Structure 1
Amino acid sequence: MRVIGLMSGTSYDAIDAAAADLTIDGDRLLLSPLGLITRGYDEALRTALGAALPPAATTLAEVCRLDTRIGQAFAAAAAEADRELCDGRAELVASHGQTVYHWVADGQVHGTLQIGQPAWIAERTGLPVVADFRPRDIAAGGQGAPLVSIVDRMWLRGRPGAPAALNLGGIANITAPDGTAFDTGPANALVDAAVRELTRERLTYDIDGEMAARGTVDEGLLAVLLGEPYYARPAPKTTGKELFHLPYLRAALTGYEDLAPQDVVATLTRLTARTVADAVRSVHASEVIASGGGTRNPTLMAFLRAELGGKVPVRTSDELGLPSAAKEAYAFAVLGFLTAHGLPGTVPESTGARHASVLGSITPGRAGVRVPAPEGGGPVRLVVDGRER
């Protein structure tokens, strides 16, 4: 089956559309990457989205407008991916949508909201769309994140040692060797917020880690940041920009207003590296396979390797055949494929759910939804482009 996976992360800067051929072969799921396109939100939409996100107040009218406009943007990306990557032969779209709220209270996730109305995607492409992946896991008592954990487990199954998969997006998450998965804390979220604030929107992120590389880590500020209670909570756990947002950062910087911008960014980058490294040590990983936008920040990657003291190798998923920039979009293509075949897309020990669940809701395409049921119990291993892990 030819599937397009759509993803926009907590940085809400662009939509990734990755296409793949997916085939079940016994206990293996074979994935052949067909490519990735990335299309940024137009500035007006990005500004409107940012203005509506917590801790800002918003209205149901604005949520409706954003749901429609983001759905239309996802539809355009899907149509382009079908045309440019699939020669017009895609069979399914899997859309993560745009997370706008993750309702966490007292360590338990009670709800989540991803917008980007899938009807626009189905109408534009004519294809069935699987969307709204996270709520089913939450209804089963899970955290609803990180959902890529099932893909990580299938992909790294049989790899020597105790590999952990790491994603460095707006929030960092890890899939441990034993299958436990959790958000470690901010990856780029606070760094991006600081860069935008300190450069007065001249920059939106630390390009190539240059600001952090020029700065010096302030140990006092780092200690304040590390005092965040979230880091000490046991897994499974999940977080987001509901916690790690600009007002949170401004409060943390009280008393440090005279720090040079590059020192603030260096300290926040070290915070990400420290909290990720602490998580890696806690799960006794023998190596880290990293993906996501943070892998393109050489300062962050250098800080992470330094925090691990050279004892745990850090590789990118590119080295194993799965493009790091596209990994989450490919992961949701897999999740959509599993849903279309009636197969569970979660592992209970990863999200803390009571049981595994078939995820998402399906919006039919022009021809409805026609997928043959798989034989046997479904795949347990993921093979990317013929490369066994």
Structure 2
Amino acid sequence: MRVIGLMSGTSCDGVDAAAADLELVGDSLLLEPLGAWSEPYGDEVRTSLAAALPPGAVPLGRVCALDTLIGQAFAAAAVRADRELCASGAELVASHGQTVFHWVESGRVRGTLQLGQPAWIAEATGLPVVADFRPRDVAAGGQGAPLVSLVDRLWLRGRPGVPVALNIGGIANLTAPDGTAFDTGPGCALTDAAARHFSGGRDGCDAEGALAARGRVDPVLLERLLAEPYYRLPAPRTTGKELFHPGYLRAALAGHGALPPEDVLATLTRLTAVTVADAVLGLRATEVIASGGGTRNPVLMRELAGLLPGVALRSSDELGLPSDAKEAYAFAVLGFLTAHGLPGTDPASTGARHPSVLGSLTPGRDGLRLPPRPERAPVRLVVGGGAKAGRDGDRS
């Protein structure tokens, strides 16, 4: 089955699209990457989205407009992916949408909201769409995140030692082989907020860590930031820009005295590295496979490597999944599982009472024809060349 995965993460900068040819062979799910790319949001979407994110307050009319605008942006990305990446035509679209609020009270997730109306995608492509993945896990008592943990466990199964999958987006999250998965804290959320603040909105991020590289870590500010109670919550735990937003940064800097922008960026970069490294070391990891936009920041990656002596730190690209598109590929897998009636969650990762088949289905132009449910769910994910080799095995 050829599936297009669409994702926009907590950095809220655009749509990542990835196309995959997926096939269940025995107990293995074979994934052949067909290509991926990113499409930045247009100015109207970026401006409206920035105003709507916490701690902003917007009327319902703007929420409705955003749902449409983001849905149309995802639809355009799906059309392009179908045309350019799927020579034989896609059969399904899996759209994560754009998270605008993750409602957490006393460590319990009460609700989660992703915008990007899937009807626009179905109308534009004619394909069935799986969307709204997270609420089912929340309804089952889970955190609704990180949903990629099931895919990570399938993908890393069989690797020696204790491999940990790490994604550094706006928020950083990781998954361990035993299913432990959680958000470690801010990935790029606070560094992005600082870059926008100090540039007057001109820069959306500290590109390649240029500012942080020129700065010095301020130990007093770092200690204040590390006092955040979130870091001491037990797993599973999730967070988002409901906590780590520009106002949070302003409050941390208040009363601290004037610091050069480069020192603030250096300190925030160290914060991300320390909180990720503490989480990795707590899991006794022997290997970290990293993905996400944060991996493009060499300062952050050097800091992280320095805090993880003896732990191999490599990119997901080395294992066949592009670091910038890994989550889009992961949602293509989750969409495939949903279309086949298979669970897409691991209770060990999200804290849910039971596994759940995720998402809601929007029929395509020709209605909705679902494939038969397999007798068994996959226990491993094989990517790329290994997937081709696996096609010689028994099929199911």
Normalising by structure 2, we get a TM-score of 0.97
Give the counterpart letter for 2:72 in structure 1: Q
Partner of 1:354: 353
Q: Which residue is 2:363 aligned to?
A: 364
Aligned mates of 1:161, 1:269 — CA distance in 2: 28
How far apart in 2 are the matches of 1:206 and 1:199?
Answer: 10
Distance of 2:40 and 2:361 partners within structure 1: 26
Counterparts of 1:45 and 1:370 in 2: how far apart (Å)?
A: 33
How many residues matched?
Answer: 388
Separation in 2, partners of 1:354, 1:203: 43
Where 1:247 maps in the other structure, the secondary structure is: helix
Structure 2: how far apart are the matches of 1:179 and 1:387?
Answer: 24
Report how far residue 88 of structure 1 moved.
5.8
SS at match of 1:237: coil
The unaligned stretches of length 5 or more in structure 2 are 388-396
Taking the aligned partners of 2:386 and 2:6, their CA distance within structure 1 comes to 24
1:311 offset after TM fit, Å? 1.7
- The alpha-carbon deviation at position 98 of structure 1 amounts to 0.3
Question: How far does the alpha carbon of each residue in 1:34-86 deviate from its partner, in whole angstroms, 9 at most, with x for none?
Answer: 01121111112101111011111111111000000100010000000000111
Deviations 1:178-197 (A, max 9, x none): 11110000000000000000
Which secondary structure state, in structure 1, belongs to the residue aligned with residue 325 of structure 2? helix
Is the contact made by 1:321 and 1:387 (CA closer than 8 Å) also made in structure 2? no
Give 2:392's aligned residue. none
Q: Report sequence identity in percent.
A: 71
* Cα shift at 1:321: 1.0
Q: Distance in 1 between matches of 2:138 and 2:256?
A: 39
Code of the residue aligned with 2:21 in structure 1: it is: D
1:55-74 alignment runs, 5 A limit: 55-74=55-74
Runs of 4+ in 1 over 4 A off after TM superposition: none
Q: Is the 8 A contact 1:177 1:285 kept in 2?
A: no
**Residues 116-265 of structure 1 mapped to structure 2, 5 A cutoff:** 116-265=116-265
- Report if the CA contact (8 A) 2:186-2:272 is conserved: yes
- TM-score of the pair, normalised by structure 1: 0.98
The answer to whether the 8 Å contact 1:177/1:283 transfers is: no
Secondary structure of 1:47's counterpart equals: helix
> One-letter code of the match for 1:356?
P
Secondary structure (helix, strand or coil) at the match of 2:385 reads: coil
**Unpaired stretches in structure 1, ≥5 consecutive residues:** none
CA RMSD of aligned residues (A): 1.1
Tell me what 1:115 maps to: 115
**Paired residue secondary structure (2:314):** strand
Secondary structure of 1:324's aligned partner? coil
Tell me the CA shift for residue 255 of structure 1.
Answer: 2.5
Rounded to whole Å, the distance in 2 between the matches of 1:87 and 1:51 is 39
Aligned to 1:303: 303
Following the alignment from structure 1 to structure 2, what is the Cα–Cα distance between the partners of residues 181 and 245?
Answer: 22
Matched with 1:375 is 374
Q: Give the C-alpha shift of residue 371 in structure 1.
A: 2.7
Instruction: Provide the residue aligned with 1:336 in structure 2.
Output: 335
